[in-house]
Structure formats: C-alpha cells, structure tokens
C-alpha cells in the first residue's frame, strides 16, 4: 500500500529573490494494493513532478512517502538502491528509456542481470514470461528500439517494469503518443496486470474518458495540489472543482455536438457512465467481463458492437 502525506517539491527560480515554484504543494493520498488510480490535470500542474518525487527520482522538499510499510523518503542512497525494484516508472517516451545499442530482449533482461547476477542468456530466458505477460510479440526480441512501433516499445517498457516484480508502477502518460488502437491495447494490458497480479498502478494522463473507463478512482491535480478525488462517475459526471468541470464540459459538448472520431470517446464516456452506476450498498458497479470500449466484448447484459 502506498501512503503519501504532505508531499512538497519546490524549485528555486534562477533569479535571486524570486518566489519558489510550487510544483507539488502538500499532496496527500493513498493507493491500496492492486488499485488502479488515475491522475489527471492541465499541463504544468505538477503531475510528472509528483510521479518522480514519489519514486525519489526528484528529492522532495518535505513530506513522506511510505510503500508497504517502508518510509521511502527516509531511505539512504544504498537503501533506496535496494528498494528501487519495488517501484517502477513507465515514461511517456519509452524509446528514450532504452539503450539504442541494445536489442529489446537484452534491455528487458537487464533487471535479471542486475538483481540476480545471471548470465545474459539466462536473463533473456527469464524475461520471456514478462514479455508475454505484456503482450509483446516474441518475434521482435532481436530488434532494436528504433525498429519498433510506439505500441510495441511501450509493451517492452511494461515488460521491463514487471521484470522487477514491483509493488507499485507509475505510468506517466504511457498512451499520449499512441494511436487509438495502440492505446486500447496498452489499456487492456494494464487492466490485466492490475487484476491478475495485484500491482498498484498510478496512471497519469490527460485523457479523462480513458481514465474513467479503466481506473478505480481518479484524482485531479491543479496548481500542485490534488483538488478532487473519487470514483470515475463522480469525477466525469458530477465534478466539483472548476479544474475538473472544464474538461468534462468540453467532453460532453464534443459527444453531443458531433460523433467523435471512431466513436471511441463516446464509447469511453458511455462506459464511464455504466461504471458510475451504484448498487444499494453505495459501491461502484463494475463490468463483469473484460475491457470493452475498443474490443466490442460483452459487459454484463449489454453487447457493444465494434465501430470502424
């Protein structure tokens, strides 16, 4: 379980006497084991800085981060190095995270070489299960990063993160540079990993309709603070803060005024409304089968046809 309390990260401006930039300003939230939480907000609100501060890729100004009972913010450099495999980052530009001189199979196998000290051949064999888990085509393991599509290399990044057997994965806009089909595939991969392996996932994205479909909760960030957090239905249909109302109003207008490209946004929005339904106990009703907006699979008693 991840517990963040009063996390702050300020940056001092270059000019003397200027006011520090409050990139992350007193953020507190929890992320349960196996929970998938979305984080959204306008550009420049501090989402990526929060992600890197959580993982101590950027040192916090103040506040605490606790993962599975360990105070991450209190770890020494050597202690953090040992703890690092338990919290992984999937970046927005996965190609920049791969050594262009190494084949994909070698890069994904690297955690096994570093953590277990095995040979490259043995490490590649050990990594095959994680590549399959991420839906990566095994015929591509001998290719270099520049030879893969955006979706393929993103799957390789997911596989490498899984190879460390983490408790927490932070995905920083992993689908922003992908086409709708690849976005759907990555979304399905994250859902499967989350449900089958119980890994906590913080998914950062500007795509509120996408988050509303796949996440258990959505948090909205504005000016370095989390201003709203709740079930997808509350955020997309009954937003409270003005930072949330703007994108949801635009989304609603888009859906009512014209059919979206590929009808994908409409399907996402309908799915978010379906998931927002409440049962008598007040808990969120989730579809019983697999992720459907792109695949056209049945969810409960409703069948959604594939749009082309």
Q: What is the pLDDT of residue 268?
A: 45
Average pLDDT rounded to a whole number, residues 55-67: 95
Q: What is the pLDDT of residue 218?
A: 94
pTM exceeding the 0.85 threshold for the entire prediction: no
Q: What is the pLDDT of residue 227?
A: 92
Please determine, for residue 238, whether its predicted confidence score (pLDDT) is greater than 60. Answer: yes
Q: What is the pLDDT of residue 64?
A: 96
Q: 186-237, pLDDT tens digit by residue? A: 888 888 888 888 899 999 998 888 888 889 999 999 989 999 999 998 888 8
**Other Cβ atoms within 10 Å of 102 Cβ, number:** 14
Q: 143-189, pLDDT tens digit by residue? A: 999 999 888 999 999 999 998 889 999 999 988 878 888 888 888 88
């Amino acid at each position: 379980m991840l517990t963040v309390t009063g996390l702050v990260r300020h940056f001092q401006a270059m000019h003397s006497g200027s006011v520090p930039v409050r990139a992350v300003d007193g953020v507190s939230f929890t992320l349960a084991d196996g929970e998938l939480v979305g984080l959204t907000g306008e550009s420049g609100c501090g989402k990526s800085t929060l992600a890197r501060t959580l993982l101590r890729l950027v040192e916090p100004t103040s506040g605490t981060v606790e993962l599975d009972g360990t105070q991450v913010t209190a770890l020494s450099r050597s202690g953090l190095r040992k703890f690092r495999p338990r919290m992984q980052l999937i970046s927005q530009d996965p190609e920049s995270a791969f050594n262009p001189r190494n084949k994909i199979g070698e890069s994904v196998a690297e955690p096994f070489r570093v953590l277990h000290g095995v040979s490259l051949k043995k490490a590649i064999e050990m990594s095959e299960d994680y590549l399959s888990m991420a839906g990566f085509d095994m015929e591509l393991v001998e290719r270099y990063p520049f030879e893969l599509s955006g979706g393929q290399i993103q799957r390789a990044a997911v596989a490498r993160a899984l190879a460390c057997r983490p408790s927490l994965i932070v995905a920083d806009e992993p689908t922003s540079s992908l086409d709708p089909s690849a976005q759907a595939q990555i979304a399905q991969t994250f859902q499967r990993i989350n449900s089958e392996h119980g890994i906590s996932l913080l998914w950062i994205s500007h795509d509120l309709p996408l988050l509303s479909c796949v996440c258990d909760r959505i948090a909205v960030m504005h000016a370095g603070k989390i201003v709203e957090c709740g079930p997808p239905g509350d955020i997309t249909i009954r937003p409270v803060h003005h930072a949330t109302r703007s994108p949801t109003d635009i989304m609603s207008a888009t859906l009512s005024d014209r059919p979206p490209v590929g009808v994908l946004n409409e399907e996402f929005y309908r799915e978010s409304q379906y998931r927002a339904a409440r049962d008598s106990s007040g808990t969120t009703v989730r579809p019983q089968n697999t992720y459907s907006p792109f695949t056209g699979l049945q969810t409960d008693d409703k069948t959604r046809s594939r749009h082309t």
